A and B are shown apart, each in its own frame.
Chain A
């Protein structure tokens, strides 16, 4: 049932290589996706009808369709328009889109949670729209959004496992491959599960901690 000592030492380099790809995809998707989420949030709040419509469309599709379908749409679908992407870049585009769609809702809610008096005060001081956002809304709003954004980051880390379907050699693909060559599926998949848990569980505790800290700050 469980991997033996020899198996662990034989598989570990391969699995860790997969984990590193999973983490790279997670990092890049968040790095692109969260700023994209901010742009989408501002787009949805914009007065311009066209901008609002496009942003809403991107948000609703990014949230409404399963991440797996987004991934396959970009990897298997786009080539028919003549745009062929590597599985690594397809993974990042799809997950960044997914991140942007979800985080835009988190960011929008947090921006709207900033007291109306703050906006009025910023306007009274004659701040430009950009300065209002940069110095007044974002510093207060992002503090509210932080726990939710961190929680979502864990979900995206787990979401990288979907890239198995587009043949990206990430953690699940590596474990599956080991399973299919040695026919020791259960131990290999279990080892991958342990690696996921080793990152997700401490990360969940961290999010909990940050959530409490953020709450303390707001109570003062």
Chain B
């Protein structure tokens, strides 16, 4: 079982390395969206500091949304997905491996890039630190929750739009606690409570999202 997990994780990372253009689209989308706000609003430090948490988190949400479509679609089209359903491995493990690979490729670069972008918003080093931690806890949860939507809309025409309608409402708690953590730190209240909530959301989605996505995949492949 662990062997299958490793194999699939390795396969997806190898595939991502062979198609690096896909890898960078999400990251550049995030960088550009975040950088547009200071340009549009002007160098008003107070305003920028105020909107920074919200901007970062909404941009991370949209970037993760953008990447979702590719999570299962390629495997679905070339038939690798139906073969996956027919392997003697628990589907939970396989879905988890795919989501983790997906996050390593599309989510982790955003987290690493965030402190650099945060400088444009004149965020304090404390706030930047909390921003990274909140993204580190929040973006895997986004990938996991998004996997359910991606699995449900597999093979549908216009699935891309539908997946946003399905998944964005489910992202709201992550958005609230994620940007809340940064805001609370910036205003000096400490964002620990928010981060703990984010951690709880991550654990819950780690347990439940692969189950729901597996069930959705079985329906979609039929």
A binds B: no
Chain A interface residues (CB < 8 Å from chain B): none
Chain B interface residues (CB < 8 Å from chain A): none
